[in-house]
Structure 1
Amino acid sequence: MADWGPVIIAVLLFVLLSPGLLVQIPAGKGKIVEFGNMQTSGASIFVHAIIYFCLITIFLIVIGVHVYTG
């Protein structure tokens, strides 16, 4: 049996937390949050990476999400 939980969670979080796709934190031009602008910056990439790391740690290590196939 293969455990697909980590793969599914990682892909979903990667897509949802891509800077500029749904939300961008921090946004440029003095704004804190901007929605759907499809642009990014170095600070935004760093913030989204920290959020991604925190969420993937919570889902995979603390909660222990598992999806078995076969």
Structure 2
Amino acid sequence: MADWGPVFVAVVLFVLLSPGLLVQIPGKNRMAEFGTLHTSGASILVHSIIYFALISIFLLAVQVHMYIGS
């Protein structure tokens, strides 16, 4: 049986934390902009740091595991 927990967590966080998709921190005109579909170098850096922190928490501290199949 394969452990699909890390794969699922990584894909969901990657989609949700893509800069400009749901939120862009920092935005071009404000601190946070929602649904702009724009990005910048600073927002890529901030979102990658948030992604690393969240994936570390979910995979190392919470230890998310999912077993699919038989």
- Give me the TM-score of the superposition, normalised by structure 1: 0.96
In structure 2, give the amino acid aligned to 1:58.
I
SS at match of 1:3: coil
Aligned equivalents of 2:2 and 2:20: distance in 1?
Answer: 33
Tell me how many residue pairs correspond in the alignment. Answer: 69
- Aligned runs of 1:2-13 on 2, under 5 Å? 2-13=2-13
- Give me the TM-score of the superposition, normalised by structure 2: 0.96
Name the % identity. Answer: 68
List per-residue Cα deviations over 1:11-65 (Å, max 9, x = no partner).
0000000000000000013x10000000000000000000000000000000000
Structure 1 or 2: larger strand share? 1
Q: Any stretches of 5+ residues in structure 1 without a counterpart?
A: none
CA RMSD in angstroms, aligned pairs only:
0.6
Q: Any stretches of 5+ residues in structure 2 without a counterpart?
A: none
